[in-house]
Amino acid sequence: MRNGRRVVITGTGALTPLGIGAQESWSRLCEGESGIGPITRFDASGLSTRIAGEVKHFDASKYMDRKVARRSDLFAQYAIAATRMALDDARLEMTEEVSHRTGVILGSAVGGIGTLCYNMRTENEGNSEGVSKMLASMYIPSAGANDISVVFGIKGPSRGLSTACATGGHCIGDAVRFIQYGDADIMVAGASEAQIVPVFIDSIGRLRASSTRNDEPERACRPFERDRDGFASGEGAGVLVLEESEHALARGAHIYAEITGFASNIDAYHATKPEPGSQARCISLALRDAQIAPKDVEYVNAHGTATILGDLSETRALKIAFGHYATQLMISSNKSMIGHMWSASGAVEAIFTALTLQTGVIPPTINYETPDPECDLDYVPNVKRTMPVNIAISESFGFGGMNAVLVLQRWTD
């Protein structure tokens, strides 16, 4: 570790299609429930994909002042809410002294796309106020990080990242580096997305990346399965409180897990077609950073989007990185239940990976009915497993070939 500083997770907050809060989402995930359903946010009847994983029963006023909510896009509202949950979970008081040693890295792939689309509407389409003077500050991807810093008084390093589907993994990995290099003792890290708007859902449908199983939304997302036809978009946020281990122990914090390795790279190959060799190298670099061997890893929280090329590439990458040991790995895709939450996927899945290490519960990959002969590893089909897990990795592979891999380890003092 850089300077001998170890980084642990002391707080989690999440809003997902499965529930409000990390624990509610985790409980339903382990039981194999699906959060995918018909789109209710707008009339999707004319689109090829009419299903998504929407966050349900969200009330912004429970987590922030109404004035803050009015000047924040929905993705930033989700980020603020998840941050409040994470800070409360960590039992962290943001004193003046603490605030200067605490930073924020909060990412989003598309930022305030809902606000942008609304401001592009004409009066006849329901926008009678014209373009908002707050538009520029509300739709940029860094708005979430900015709002978190203001709401919670966090004055250390701050970043807003946007690296497509790998954003959440990159935010957490970069936050780990800030702590390892001594620039902060605590980092609030994660990602948020609220991209269920007509133009985005239509675009992904035209790309043929999303499932068209509109009549059976709960069964639509089928990672690694032979009859998969794409993902369902999900929305929400995941935020972690990361802390230098000695700092956490000194204040008696609960520790979920330790983050021992991180790596990132890019395929430099194609905008939407993944390259397994580059993904495998990212995995290997993360293992090297954690100073462990492939045989030490027991569980992989996969990117697992349920796209034809994506799942095949990820399976091949695991075989390259782990060799013959790949057949002994337990692998599961949370996206079978929460959908593809874009930037937020990596953050939420890192939380779920930490909970696997803490509880010994491996969530299933649901909707796995007919095996694909080319995806022939152990994807923990349909039913959770319970057994101790000491080391796990969380993978995020994004559009443009951007890759991020985190290594998490069960905490032992």
Neighbours of 45 (CB within 10 A): 9
| Number of helices followed by number of strands (H, E) in the chain | 14, 15
- In the set 171, 247, 282, 303, the catalytic residue is 303
- In the set 165, 171, 282, 375, the catalytic residue is 165
Helix or strand or coil: residue 332? strand
Question: Tokens representing 17?
Answer: 């299609």
User: Do the Cβ atoms of 92 and 174 come closer than 8 Å?
Assistant: no
CA dist 275 and 193 (Å) reads: 25
Three-state SS annotation for 106-146: EECCCCCHHHHHHHCCCHHHCCCCCCCCCHHHHHCCCHHHH
CA dist 351 and 382 (Å) reads: 20
| Cα three-residue angle 371-393-171, rounded to 5 degrees | 120
SS3 content of the chain, % helix, strand, coil (to 5): 40, 20, 40
Q: Is 303 a catalytic residue?
A: yes
Q: Is 165 a catalytic residue?
A: yes
CA dist 75 and 130 (Å) reads: 21
Q: Is 57 a catalytic residue?
A: no
- In the set 30, 171, 221, 340, the catalytic residue is 340
Residue (of 383, 403, 386) closest to 163 by Cα position: 403
Helix or strand or coil: residue 255? coil
Question: Which residues are identified as catalytic?
Answer: 165, 303, 340
